[in-house]
């Protein structure tokens, strides 16, 4: 097995301008990490070297659930490296491009977490400077992780710029950043607003066909109204995003924390009404009184999810979150349902003849049918429709009946 310093290299995760990222294991702690290293060939490039060190310094001073965690950083075998938490999930770029159907309360929960992470970074004097969908990962349990602080500015540093290149991603950068002026926490706020705009409408706020036209729009034109693109959005939510994206930094929210508070209120309102209203709502009852009902709803929702009854799972979990909007377990289970629903919609549909054959085989394999014939039907189903949820449900039902019979 290949090694790097004290790490055992398991496989390669990706490669970019900054170097290479590997899945690696730290044998001392028996922990699997994402090992990011600046390649030896690029180590002599001063700008990339500075950017790598800048990312390490920025993340090293941050410790927050919504920001990727760095476990270790240093130099080994002549190369700079960072060992970070290994994350499973999809970034917002993929979720947007795949048109994943995410309920509005859960979309706002994602925006709220982004705001929380950025507000924390700003409180520690770190400005990200490259907030974009690809740098915002939603983990498998629905938790946001802000990535790639390679362009970050910390208060203790002088500004570092690339020669002849605008820092950041043009589609989401603020007007002041586009003009090469001083970048502050309000620049991150604008970029986050541009990301929120796209996540809520499916369209980028500035859609020029060239870099020049995108920059011109950022500086001189207002985005198309969000309610034109998505009339179902609450006016309050559109107003928050609009407030974050004002051209003049002084007219934006005074801080990301202010935007976070607005989003938190919206999130609670949308949870309590299951997405029907963004207006402030009274609590259902005292927390101690509703918690047993919340637990029951979550347990029921989890059971439905495990059995493939996704609609019923979503209904139970939404009921739990209407009673306790901040319940993390319920929100994580909802995200599992969202992913399962998207996977089911993305699965190739059976043609009519195959569907008829699958239905007939399911009937032959049902409990109570002759065992030999049922086994033959199950084998054919495994080949014909291995990912069909009805087959999974049938197998679970047969297993439960077999356990019950053995217990008698």
Write the CB contacts of 316 (distance below 8 Å, at least 6 apart in sequence). Answer: 297, 298, 300, 301, 304
Q: Bridge partners of 75?
A: 80
- Active-site residue identified among 130, 171, 316, 388: 130
d(CA 395, CA 34): 37
SS3 per residue for the chain = CCEECCEEEEEEEEEECCEEEEEEEECCCCEEEEEEECCCCCCCCHHHHHHHHHHHHHHHCCCCCCECCEEEEEEECCEEEEEEECCCEEEHHHHHHCCCCCCHHHHHHHHHHHHHHHHHHHHCCEECCCCCHHHEEEECCCCEEECCCCCCEECCCCCCCCCCCCCCCHHHCCHHHHCCCCCCHHHHHHHHHHHHHHHHHCCCCCCCCCHHHHHHHHHHCCCCCHHHHCCCCCHHHHHHHHHHCCCCHHHCCCCHHHHHHHHHHHHHHHHHCCCCCCCCCCCCCCHHHHHHHHHHHHHHHHHHHHCCCHHHHHHHHHHHHHHCCCCHHHHHHHHHHHHHHHHHHHCCCCCHHHHHHHHHHHHHCCCCCCHHHHHHHHHHHHHHCCCCHHHHHHHHHHHHHHHHHHHC
Tokens of 234: 């609450």
How far is it, in rounded angstroms, from Cα 18 to Cα 123? 27
Residue with tokens 């541009």: 194
Whether 316 sits among the annotated catalytic residues: the reply is no
CA distance 187 to 213: 20
- Euclidean distance between CA atoms 266 and 36, whole angstroms: 37
Cβ proximity of 281 and 255 under 8 Å? no
Provide the terminal-to-terminal Cα distance of the chain, rounded to the nearest Å.
Answer: 51
For the annotated catalytic residues, the residue numbers are 130
């Amino acid at each position: 097995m290949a090694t790097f310093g004290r790490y055992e290299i398991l496989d390669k995760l990706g490669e970019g301008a900054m170097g290479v990222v590997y899945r690696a294991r730290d044998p001392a702690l028996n922990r699997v990490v994402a090992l990011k290293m600046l390649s030896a060939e690029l180590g002599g490039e001063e700008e990339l070297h500075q950017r790598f060190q800048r990312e390490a310094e920025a993340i090293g001073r941050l410790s927050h659930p919504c920001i990727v965690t760095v476990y270790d950083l240093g130099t080994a075998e002549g190369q700079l490296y960072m060992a970070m938490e290994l994350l499973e999930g999809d970034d917002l770029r993929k979720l947007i491009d795949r048109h994943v159907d995410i309920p509005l309360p859960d979309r706002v929960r994602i925006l709220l977490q982004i705001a929380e992470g950025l507000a924390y970074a700003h409180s520690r004097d770190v400005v990200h400077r490259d907030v974009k969908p690809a740098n915002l990962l939603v983990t498998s349990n629905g938790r946001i992780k802000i990535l790639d602080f390679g362009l970050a500015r910390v208060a203790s540093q002088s500004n570092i710029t690339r020669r002849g290149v605008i820092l950041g991603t043009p589609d989401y950068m603020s007007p002041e950043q586009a003009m090469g002026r001083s970048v502050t926490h309000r620049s991150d706020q604008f970029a986050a607003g541009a990301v929120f705009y796209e996540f809520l409408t499916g369209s980028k706020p500035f859609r020029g066909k060239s870099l020049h036209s995108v920059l011109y729009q950022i500086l001189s034109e207002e985005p198309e109204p969000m309610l034109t693109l998505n009339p179902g959005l609450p006016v309050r939510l559109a107003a928050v995003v609009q407030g974050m994206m004002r051209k003049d930094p002084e007219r934006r929210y005074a801080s990301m924390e202010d935007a976070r508070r607005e989003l938190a209120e919206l999130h609670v309102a949308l949870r309590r009404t299951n997405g029907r209203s963004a207006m402030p709502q009274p609590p259902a009852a005292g927390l101690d009184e509703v918690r047993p009902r919340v637990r029951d709803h979550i347990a029921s929702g989890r059971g439905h999810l495990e059995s493939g009854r996704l609609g019923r799972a979503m209904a139970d979990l939404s009921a739990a979150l209407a009673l306790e909007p901040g319940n993390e377990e319920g929100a994580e289970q909802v995200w599992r349902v969202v992913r399962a629903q998207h996977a089911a919609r993305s699965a190739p549909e059976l043609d009519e003849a195959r569907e008829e054959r699958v239905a007939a085989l399911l009937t032959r394999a049902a409990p109570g049918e002759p065992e030999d014939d049922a086994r033959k039907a199950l084998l054919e189903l495994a080949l014909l429709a291995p990912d069909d949820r009805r087959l999974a449900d049938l197998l679970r039902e047969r297993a439960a009946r077999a356990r019950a019979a053995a217990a008698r």
